[in-house]
Structure 1
Amino acid sequence: MLFGNRRPLLPLFPLKSIQSSISFAFSCLILVTIVVTSLISYRLSVDAVEQNATGYIEEIIKQVNSNIQSYVDNMENISLLAMTNKDVKYYISDNDFISTEERRVYEKRISDLFQAILYTRQDIASIMVFGYNDRFVSDRRITSLNPNADVRNAPWYKSAKAAGGQSVISAPHVQNIIQNEYRWVVSLSRELRSTDGISPEGIFLVDLNLSVINDICRQINLGNKGYVFIVDQEGNIVYHPQQQLIYSGLASEKIDEVNAAASGASFTTGEGDGKRIYSVQGTNFGWKIVGVAYGDELIANKDTLSRSLFLYAFFGLAIALLLSVLLSHQLSRPIKNLQKDMKLVEKGNFDIKTEIGQMNEIGQLGRTFNMMVGQIKNLMEEAILTQEQKRKSELALLQSQINPHFLYNTLDSIIWMAEQKKHEEVVLMTSALAKLFRSSISKEKELVPIRVEIEHIKNYLIIQKMRYNNQLDYRLDIAPSIMMYRSLKILLQPFVENAIYHGIRNKPEMGLITIRGYEEEDRIVFEVEDDGLGMTEEKLEMLLEPVGGSGLSDPLQSGSGGKGIGISNVNERIKLFFGEPYGIQIRSELEVGTCVTIIIPKLD
C-alpha cells in the first residue's frame, strides 16, 4: 500500500502553520523554564551558603592554628630558657666537676629550674636534658632511666640531632625513657649548642601531655557532627576526637587527601547527607590543623526548603510534561515520517512516497520531496543506461583498435619468413593468425567459455613467439576444472601484450611468460607473470591510469598516434560486467618481473 493512499490523521490542534505550532509549544515550555530556573536558583543559593560556611570554617581553623602555634612557641621559649641557662650549659659541656658534690649542686639547680616551669605549666609532662658527655638531668632530683630504652635511637632524639639546633615536634607516642613510666605525649626536642653556637653539646626534651591541644580542639563547634583534628608532617594523627576508633580500624579519615592539600585549601568528599567539607591549615612546624563540617548542617532548613520547592515543581512539571508529550507528538510526527522516508531513499529505495497531511510548511515539503524522488529516479535510470551503453561502446571501440595494427605487424613477419623460405613457419603463423581473428571478429556474445579464451591466447602467443624467436617463451598452466566456466572475450590478451612490450622485448636474454588459471572458492583467478624488466612504482601508477589520461600507450600503436586498451580500462570492463569485488591486481619489481592477477566470478 502506498503512503499516499493513507487517510491523514486529524490534527490535535487546528493550527494552519508550523510556525504557529512552534509558538504554542514554546508558550507551554515557559513553565518548564521557570521550574528549571527555580532549581538553578536553589542550587546557586545552596552553593553560596556552602561557600560562606567554608569561609567561616577556614577562619575558625586559622584561629585554632594561631592558638596552637602560640602554644608551641611557648614550648620553644622554654627550650630557649634552657639553652641560655649557664648551669645547663656548664653541666652538658666538656668541663669536669671538682667533685661529686659539685655535680649534684648543678643537677639540683637545673632540676629546681625545670620543676618551677612544670609548676606553672600543668600540660608539661617532663623536661629533660641529655648531654653528649653522657650527663643527664630532668625535672626530678632522683630519676632512673629505663634500662631497656636506648635514648639515642628514639625518633625525637635523632630528629633533633638532624635538625641542627631547630625545634622538632614529634608525633604522639608513648614515652618510656623513665623507668616504670609510660605516658602518651608529644615531644618537643632541640639540640643544645655551646656558647659560640658551633659545637653541639646535647639534646633538650619537653614532653607535652596534649591536654592544652585537646582542650583547644574540643572547644571548636562546627555543627553537631563537625570536628577538628590534627596530623603531623608524616600523616600521623596528633589529635582526633575519635582517635581510638581510628587506631582500632573502626573509623577512617581522609589522611591522604589532607596530606596532599596545601595550607589554606578546602576540599569536599561524599554526596548528600554524607557530604563533608575539609578545611586545612598548615603550621610552620609541620602539623596540619583540619576542620571537618557536614554539608547537611550548613543550611538549617534545607530539607524543608527543598521539599516545598520540589512539591510545587512536581505539579508544574507534570502539567508541562503532559503538554510537551502531546505537542511534540503532534509536531514531530510528520517530520519523523519524512525522515524515515528519506532514510529509505538513502538506501536506494526510490519507489517510496511520503505521507502528506496538512498543507502547511511540512506538507509542502513532503510534496516537493515526492516530486524530487521521482525525478531523481528517472534521471538515475537514464544516467545508468546511458553510461552503460557508452562504456560498452568505448570498450568495444578500444578493443577493435588493436586489430589493424596487429594484423599489419603480423603480416610483415609472415612476408619476412616467406622471403627466408621458412614455409612451415609461414603456415603455422598464418593458421594461428586466422584462428586469432576468427575469434576476434566472431559475433558471439561478450562472455565466452574459458577454453575459447585459452585457445585465443595460445594462438596469440604462437604468433608472438615466432616474431620474437629467441626472446620469448611461454608456459600455460590452466586447471582443466575451469574450462567449462565462462569469461570475458579477449580478457588475457592485453596483459600478455603488456608483458611482451613492457617487460620482455627490451630484455637482453630470453624472457618467459607464464599464464595460470585456477579456481578459488566461488572465483576464477588468472595470473599473467613475466620475468622481464619490471616497473617502478611511478610507472605502475601510470599503467593503471585510464585511457585519455597519461597512461601507457599500446606498443603496437606507438608512433602511429593511437592509444591501446589501457590496463585500467580492462579493469573497468571487468567491474562493469561482474561488479566491484572483481578486477585486477598488479605487483611488479624492477629487474625481477611483473605479475598481473585477474579475478572473475564462476559463471556456468
Structure 2
Amino acid sequence: MDSEKGRAMKKKKRCFSIRIKILIASLIIALSTTLVSLAISYYTEVDTIKSTMKTYTKEYISFAGDNFHEMMLEGRRILLSVAVKTDIVATGISKTASEASIEGYQKKKRIKSFLSGLISQKNYIDNILVVTENGQIYQASSELIVQKDMEEAVVKEALEATRVGLFYDRELEEVWMGCPMYSRGTQVASVLVKLNYKKITEVWGVEPLSGVEIYLYGTDGRIFFSNALDEEAGTELYQKVTADGHDSGDLLINGEKQYFICDLAEGEEMTAVGVVPYDVFTKSTRELGTKFLAIGLVAAIGSLTASVYLSGKICDNLNHLTQSMKMVRSGNLQVRANIKTEDEIGVLSDTFNEMMERISELLEEIKEKEKLKREAERDVLETQIEPHFLYNTIDSMQYVAHMRGETEIEEVSLALSELLRSVLSNHDECITLWEEREYIENYLTIERFKYRELFSLVWDVDESLWGIKLPKLLLQPLVENALLHGISEKESDGLIQIKVYRQEMNLTIKVIDNGKGMEQEEIDRLLQNIQRTDKSGFRRVGLANVFQRIKLIYGENYGGTIYSCKNQFTCVELRLPG
C-alpha cells in the first residue's frame, strides 16, 4: 500500500514539473514575441522599411533574371553542342541507311540517345530537333512531330536561321532557338531547341514578386512576357525606362507615382522591368506596427492556453504508454499505444509500436521458417532418390552395352551420364569456359550417334580464356542450332567452329557453321522475333534464350547478333563484358 502511494506521489511530482516547464517556456515565448513586435513597430523608420523593400524586390528581380538568363544560356549551349557534334549527329544523318535496317535503327537510336541525354533533368526544354535538308527529323522527345507543326511561322524562322537565334510567338507561347549544322563546309541540317514558355517564365511568378508587375522585352521592344492585367502601358514604360538610363527610380505612369527596377539579361539581351506602386510601400509601413502588436498578444495568449492543455495531454500520454508496457509485460503482445502526437512522447510511442510489430513479425517468421525447414528436409530426401535412380539406370545401360560389345551405345551412355551428372550436380549459375566445353563435347558425342554423317567441332580459344566465367549452358543451344539447322543436311565435311577472344573491353564469342546459311530477310525476321519476345516468358531454348539471358544478366549494352550467307556459313556472335 505504501509502495503504491509512493508511486502515485512520484507520478504527481513528475507531471507537476512538466507543467511548470511548459508554463515557463510559454511565458518566455510570449514575452519575447511581444517585445520584438513592439520594437519593430515603434523603432523601425519608414525610410528604412522602404529601402529594405526596394532592395528586397530588386534582388528577387535580379535573381529571377539570372535564372531566366541561365536557362536561355543553357539552351544556347545545348544548341551549339548538337550543331558541332559532327561525330554523332552530322555523320549519322549524312550516311544513307534504311531506317528499317539494324544499322539505320541503331544510328537513329544513337542520335536520339545523345539528344535525350542533353535535356535530361531540364524540364524547361521540351525537345531538341535535328531537321535534315531532305526533311528527316531526329528528336530527343517521343512526341509525334507532324508537318503542321513544322509549318508554324516561328518554326520556319528557326529553320531558316543562318546563326544562333531566338524566335518566339507569345500568343502561341512558342519559344524556339535555332541554328544551322554544317559538315565539311556544307549545311546538312538545322538544329532547333524548343523551350517551355511557362517553365522559363515561371521564375517571375515567385511569391516575393506577387505584388510586382513584370514586363520582359525582347531586343525589338516587343513584350516577351508580362503578368500585368493591363499591358497597354508596357510600350510607354519601355520607352521611359530606356530613356531614363538608370536601373531603378521613380516614374509617373497613368498619373500615379511608381517605382521601377530594370534588369538586363545580357546573354539573350532581354530587358526585365518590374513596377511597384508606392501604395505597396506605404501600406506596409502603416500596417506593420498593428500586425506585430496583434501577433504578440495572440502569441502570448495562445502560449498560455496551450501550456495548460499540453501539460495535461503529455501526462495522459505518458500514463497511457506506461499502461501499454505493463500489458506487454503480462504477456499481451497484441497491445499498441494509441498516441497521436509529434513530440518526443509520440516518437517514443511510435517506437514502442514498431518494436511490438517487429516482435510479432519475428515470431511469425520463426514459425514460417520452421515450417519451410521441415518441408525442405522432406524435399531434399525425395530429390536425392530421383537423380540416383537415373544415374544407376544409365550405368546399367552402359554395362549391358559393354558386355554385348555395343561400343557406340556404350560411348553414348557414358556421354549422357556425364552430361546429366554435370548439369544436375553443378548448382552454380556461372561455370568456366572449360566446363562449358565439356558439356558441348558430351552433347556432340550423343548427337554423332544420331547423325551418321561426319562433322567436326573446332575450338579457337586462347589458353588464358579457358578459366573465364560464363552463364551455364550459354553456348550449348548455339551449337545445337548450328547442328540442327545448319550442317544436318550436309552429307559430309560439316564443321562447327567456336572462337573466343577479347576485343577492347568486351569478350566476343562466335559460333560458326558451314551449313546451308540464311538470306538477310530471314535473319532480319529472326532478330525481330527475338526482340519482341517477352522477357518474362521467352522460350527456354534457342537464340531468344541466349540473347535475353545475356541482357538480363549483363544489361542492355550486351547481347548478340547473326551473320550469314546463303549456302556458305552462319555466324552467331555474342558480346559479353570482358
TM range, smaller chain: 0.3 to 0.5
Radius of gyration: which is bigger? 1
TM-score w.r.t. the length of structure 1 is 0.34
